[in-house]
Amino acid sequence: MGFFIEVLIGGLLAGVLYSLVALGFVLIFKASGVFNFAQGAMVLAAALALVRALEVMQVQWHWPFGLALPAAFAFAAAVMALIAWAAERLVLRKLVNQEGIILFMATIGVTFFIEGLAQTVFGADVYPLNIGLPKEPIFLLESLFEGGVLVNELDIWAAVIAGLLVAGLAVFFQRTRIGRALRAVADDHAAAQSVGIALNQIWFIVWLVAGLVALAAGAVWGSKLGVQFSLTLLALKALPVLILGGFTSVPGAIVGGLIIGAGEKLAEVFLGPSMGGGIEIWFAYVVALLFLLVRPQGLFGERIIERV
Amino acid sequence: MFYREAGQYKASYGADQAIFPIAQDRFVVLAGMAVAFLVVPFLASEYTYRAVLIPTVILTLAAIGLNVLMGYCGQVSLGSGAFMGVGAYAAFNLAIRLPFLNPLVCILLSGFVAAAIGIAFGIPSLRIKGFYLACATLAAQFFGDWAFLRIKWVTNHTPSGSVNAPPIQMFGYDLSSPTATYLIALTITIVLGLAAKNIVRGHIGRQWMAIRDMDIAAEIIGVRPLFAKLSAFAVSSFLIGVAGAMWAFLYLGSWEPAAFSIDRSFQLMFMVIIGGLGSILGSALGAIFIVLLPIFLNQALPPLGALIGWKISTATVSHFESMIFGALIVFFLVVEPHGLARLWSVAKEKLRLWPFPH
Amino acid sequence: MKIAKMVVTGAAALAAGMAIAASSAQAQGEQFIPGLVYRTGAYAPNGIPFADGVADYINMLNARDGGINGVKILFEECETGYATDRGVECYERLKAKGPTGAAYFSPLSTGITFALTEKAPGDKIPLITMGYGRADSRDGQVFTWNFPLLGTYWTAASVAIQHIAKEWGGFDKLKGKKIALVYHDSPYGKEPIAALEIMSKKYGFEFLPIPVPAPGSEQKSQWLQIRQQRPDYVLLWGWGVMNSASVTEAGNVNYPRDKMLGVWWSGAEPDVVPAGEKGAGYKALMLQHPAGKFGIHGEIDKHVISKGKSLAKADDTGQVLYNRGLINSMLGTESIRTAMAKFGNKPMTGEQVRWGIEHLDLSAARIKELGFEGMIQPLKVTCADHEGTRLSRVHQWDGKKWNVISDYYTGDDSVLAPLVKDVAAKYAAEKKITPRDCSKES
């Protein structure tokens, strides 16, 4: 029982990390209808920018950690702004009114471009990232179960960060002027434009926000695994989360992440050994697919899926 | 001046519906085939065969297969790598378990196995489309990766998970020389490519295009989405499966599941987009381009970098490759969604009027 | 029209590039050595230092001695990304380059080695798979063209069990214990399983294989399984990001790091540095050589690094994998030198290099002369034994650096030799190879 709870908690916390990546997808999809495959590459680019800037500031310029950390974050944010600007200017603006699937393929192109560029500029090594998050394991409920229930502090911090981000985004969407404009664009491009909302500007902002979410995801994943190329593969982990949670729902991304995270870890640990192991990669997809056949709009998605 | 159809009269429906209705096209195609079959074998070095010609020819077939699905029927697939794998492992198992079959027969039969599995994974397409379907095909990709690795029967219980192709021979002749391999691959690709060309311009192909352009309208004029979509999946998977079997038997010779990973799927998708969505010729152009570009960059970038005093490592080259592919995808999607094939037809249009532009 | 112009410009640029490439590739009387490397992708952290070591040693020979016995070395890298199919492409691309073709291939991937094992005999090019590759290929009677110099994975498995037994105070202590193998799910990770299964029967320990799907950046489930199963020792057979992720996850589930023993491909700086504090105590086998700088590094510094001809940073040149790259190139070039002693000072063909590797005999004096004293022990390759030596040590990461903590162990041939014979014979039967008679080889 203790072990089951442990796997469940471990899965849920891993799921929170998937949600962090999925959030970026949802933001862009909500505002521009673009399924941004490049989100994983943006996580990589953000994390690389952060870790390399931190390294230069601390090692070469001898800045104290307290100063270098915010400065590095600012630098990485600037890089994300640059990517957002370029994506809007060079890709989105040219593909206005194209079908979603064309835009999707274009973002696959963007993915490869960002991956190549980020690694050319910042290097392709593995870089340990320390932004001061604690990483110690904690054992809960040791009185109840033998060995206790293992939880990692970093995972808890990731959950806290994800929670803060969601709250922040909710406020941003509901309370601010830009947020209202974003929601207007998501509802109806043409109507939003006719009341004087500049689409290009909105797209830039939304890509920027997605870039900042990518930065948060990159910082957390980077401190967990070290900043390295495999961070881009996170995009593939986030896809089933999106299908499950719905493409347009921020809470959906969180809940979907939790379900996928817990489901795949439980499947891997309890079903995996009898099936030869390694099933978690496709298990998430299969769960998502089955769900898709039953409820195409996802858990919280809006019911406007095209069907044939 | 040289390229015009004036004076070529069509006296029958047969002539009007011919695959290459214009004499010059027929000539160019025949000449191209003659060069490929008769001239190239005398010129090509072993390096050219192994590094350029054989992969290009095989990937052309795979790209045609994907183009049938993506370009003609409008169903995006990110699982084509896995379907190549299905073909490869099907051919392997046929060769191992039915040793009396010639390996070349196994290659062709493997296409049917791939087609069957393609239909199974095509079923979700009846209910979902767009990137939802792309995600569904990703599921096929990951499931394939897992199945090739973990289901021991598939690899005939090889402890390492790496399997070998049987030697290619026919009537007692050894056909493993690069020239023979190239000619076999070329023959299969051309035969199946022409078959695909005929299918896409026949009634099935028109159904696919109707579904692609507007599914509801297609349904109203009497196209059955079930049949159209599943047949597209079947034909596409067949071609991709045969290409996968050729890739394994004729090119790699010994392989492991990673040879058919998601990277292969992306590579095929790039060929189709850069070559031209909805064009058989484009698939070939795309394959040639994608095979040649990395070789070219590897050769050309380090000396070019040296000119400006920049030491370019293989890593930089491969990052550049990634960037160039990415940029080209965006470029083609923005500027020319019909890809290289469209450039070719633009050239033909110009040739028609040349040298008098009006 | 715009597009047409762009196409024309592109074609012109292409032609210009090809011309430059062609002019730079013209060279006669050179010995071509190909380098299959991976400087990108999930395995790049480990691939880069190794590739740098390989390239720097060859550049050093060219700069200092003008090559091998006056024959300049032409070296070209090809990026494989640790993918078997790309490795095969690289092999096909490079095998016929240079006046005599490729001297030998070192693919640094067990998967690629498996694929090339099928091709090398036909092309007559030897494969030097130093510390990796097919474990049964040590049998030179069947595997004429494979040379798993310095050790195979079965040797590694044997040494690992010996070390565990020593820590616990004897082989009888293994009985009833549980030893897990966390392995990279590829031909590489699966290779030691056969030997470990045999030893598990022999010594009576329970063997628990736990696969990690490639690339292995996510291992939570695997380590939760370890937490549940509580093995007494964990062997780690990882590569690339998988290593650092394993060490980190072991810290996360509080599995004692000093009860973990990695293979020699899981015991370098990139594997433990990302784990930070959590890596301290982790142990790994050594492919004989430790981290640190030795005689050869002075030469490399003088002729390559200080001239700015290296891709490696000066601080990184003493790293485990960099040093291993140096050894790889040294063994290759010394084999060519051995071949030249018989066939004359000109570029060697693959067949001649194969003879050279098979007759490679490095004495302690020669190793010292080459500047590798302290890095490797003398070795002698023979027709029957393509491994050359079966020595290995163990080192431990203290959070800052690797410290050697054991003496040399030798792979236990009472376990290994019958297994090698058995599996190689099976391979020979399957491929219809008639094993060579080594007593008739010169």
Q: CA of C223, closest CA in chain A: separation in Å?
A: 10
Q: What tokens were used for C222?
A: 């695997």
Q: Domain check: are C55 and C129 in the same one? A: yes
CA C371-C373-C374 angle, to 5 degrees, is: 135
pLDDT range class, residue B242, cuts 50, 70, 90: very high
pLDDT digits (tens, 9 = 90+) for B13-37: 877 777 777 777 788 888 888 888 8
How many angstroms separate the CA atoms of A22 and A213, rounded? 9
| Domains (range + CATH), chain A | 2-294 (1.10.3470)
> Span C163-174, mean pLDDT?
90
The answer to whether residue B12 neighbours chain C at the CB level (below 8 Å) is: no
Tell whether C18 is covered by a domain: no
Helix (DSSP H) and strand (DSSP E) numbers for chain C: 15, 14
For testing contact with chain C, the best of A1, A131, A225 (most C CBs within 10 A): A225
Question: Chain B: residue nearest A35 by CA?
Answer: B131
Q: Domain check: are C405 and C258 in the same one? A: yes
Q: What tokens were used for A219?
A: 């910082």
- C-alpha distances in Å from residue B231, one per residue of B109, B123, B280, C53: 18, 11, 17, 54
Residue partners of B43: CB distance under 8 A and separation at least 6:
none
Chains with 3+ CB–CB pairs under 8 A to A are: B, C
For testing contact with chain A, the best of C46, C182, C217 (most A CBs within 10 A): C217
Residue A239 with chain B: CB contacts under 8 Å: 135, 138
pLDDT exceeds cutoff 70 at C9: no
pLDDT exceeds cutoff 50 at C68: yes
Q: Which of C213, A306, A28, C113 is CA-nearest to residue B132?
A: A306
- Domain interval for residue C208: 153-290+393-420
| Domains (range + CATH), chain B | 56-350 (1.10.3470)
Q: Domain check: are C362 and C413 in the same one? A: no
pLDDT of residue C21: 47
Q: Domain check: are C62 and C123 in the same one? A: yes
Which residues on chain A place their C-beta less than 8 Å from a C-beta of chain C?
Answer: 3, 6-7, 10-11, 14, 119, 124-128, 130, 135, 137, 139, 147, 150, 152, 154, 224-226, 228-230, 233, 237, 264-265, 268-269, 272-273, 276-278, 280-281
pLDDT of residue A282: 83
pLDDT digits (tens, 9 = 90+) for A52-83: 999 888 888 888 888 888 999 999 999 999 99
pLDDT digits (tens, 9 = 90+) for C71-113: 999 998 888 888 887 888 888 888 888 888 899 999 888 888 9
Q: Which of B90, B57, B84, B52 is CA-nearest to residue B269?
A: B84
Tell whether C429 is covered by a domain: no
pTM, whole model, 2 decimals? 0.85
pLDDT range class, residue C24, cuts 50, 70, 90: very low
Question: Chain A: residue nearest C240 by CA?
Answer: A126
Q: Domain check: are C276 and C408 in the same one? A: yes
Q: What tokens were used for C42?
A: 């999930």
CB C72 within 8 A of CB C328: no
Q: Domain check: are C173 and C274 in the same one? A: yes
pLDDT range class, residue A164, cuts 50, 70, 90: confident
Tell whether C17 is covered by a domain: no
Inter-chain touch A229–C248, beta carbons under 8 Å = no
pLDDT exceeds cutoff 80 at B160: no
CB C147 within 8 A of CB C128: yes
* Pairing of the two strands C283-286 and C73-79: unpaired
pLDDT digits (tens, 9 = 90+) for A207-239: 898 899 899 988 888 887 778 887 887 778 888
Q: CA of A86, closest CA in chain B: separation in Å?
A: 12
The rounded mean pLDDT for chain C is 87
Residue appearing with tokens 């952060």? A50
Inter-chain touch C311–B311, beta carbons under 8 Å = yes
How many angstroms separate the CA atoms of C234 and A67, rounded? 41
CB B268 within 8 A of CB B59: yes
CB B121 within 8 A of CB B263: no
- C-alpha distances in Å from residue C243, one per residue of A52, A103, A126, B189, C285: 22, 37, 12, 43, 14
Residue partners of C103: CB distance under 8 A and separation at least 6:
C31, C32, C33, C125, C332, C336, C348, C350, C353
**Which ranges constitute the DSSP H helices of A123-247?**
153-175, 177-187, 189-194, 199-225, 234-245
Q: Bridge-partner residues for C192, per DSSP? A: none
Q: Which of C42, C185, C220 is closest, CB to CB, to A278?
A: C185
How many angstroms separate the CA atoms of A20 and B327, rounded? 27
How many angstroms separate the CA atoms of B340 and C4, rounded? 11
pLDDT range class, residue C1, cuts 50, 70, 90: very low
Q: Domain check: are C172 and C313 in the same one? A: no
Tell whether C157 is covered by a domain: yes
Tell whether C433 is covered by a domain: no
Q: Which of B87, B29, B35, B90 is CA-nearest to residue B61?
A: B87
CB B298 within 8 A of CB C78: yes
For B355, what's the count of Cα atoms within 13 Å in the CB-facing half-sphere?
0
Q: Between B and C, how many CB-CB pairs are < 8 A?
A: 126
Strand ranges inside B69-219, DSSP E: 163-164, 169-170, 173-174
Inter-chain touch C251–A137, beta carbons under 8 Å = yes
Inter-chain touch B319–A278, beta carbons under 8 Å = no
DSSP letter (8 states) at residue A59: I
Q: Which of C21, C39, C186 is closest, CB to CB, to B313?
A: C39
Tell whether C8 is covered by a domain: no
Question: Chain C: residue nearest A279 by CA?
Answer: C213
> Span B57-70, mean pLDDT?
94
The answer to whether residue B261 neighbours chain C at the CB level (below 8 Å) is: yes
Tell whether C338 is covered by a domain: yes
* Pairing of the two strands B254-255 and C127-128: unpaired
Q: Domain check: are C123 and C254 in the same one? A: no
Burial environment of residue A237 by CB neighbours within 10 A (0 to 12, 13 to 18, 19 or more): buried
Question: Chain C: residue nearest B297 by CA?
Answer: C17
CB C221 within 8 A of CB A105: no
- C179: left (phi > 0), else alpha (psi -120 to 50), else beta? beta
Q: Domain check: are C213 and C333 in the same one? A: no
pLDDT digits (tens, 9 = 90+) for C319-340: 999 999 999 999 999 999 999 9
* CATH code for the domain of C346: 3.40.50.2300
Q: Bridge-partner residues for C68, per DSSP? A: C71
pLDDT of residue C15: 55
Least confident of B157-171, B282-296, C37-51: B157-171
How many angstroms separate the CA atoms of C271 and B55, rounded? 36
Q: Domain check: are C69 and C157 in the same one? A: no
Q: Domain check: are C136 and C205 in the same one? A: no
Inter-chain touch A104–B131, beta carbons under 8 Å = yes
CB C241 within 8 A of CB C41: no
C159-186 burial code (b ≥16 CB/10 A, e <16): bbbbbbbeeeeebebbeebebbbbbbbb
**Using only C-alpha atoms, what is the Rg of chain A?**
20
The rounded mean pLDDT for chain B is 85
Least confident of A30-39, A168-177, A270-279, C237-246: A270-279
Tell whether C441 is covered by a domain: no
Q: What tokens were used for A28?
A: 């862009």
Three-state DSSP at C103 gives coil
Residue appearing with tokens 């911090």? A157
Q: Domain check: are C323 and C386 in the same one? A: yes
The answer to whether residue B268 neighbours chain C at the CB level (below 8 Å) is: no
Q: Between A and C, how many CB-CB pairs are < 8 A?
A: 103
> How many structural domains is chain C composed of?
2
How many angstroms separate the CA atoms of C122 and C186, rounded? 25
Long-range Cβ contact pairs of C359-367 (< 8 A, separation 24 or more)? C360/C331, C360/C334, C360/C335, C360/C388, C362/C334, C366/C334
For testing contact with chain A, the best of C252, C315, C319 (most A CBs within 10 A): C252
How many angstroms separate the CA atoms of A288 and A220, rounded? 25
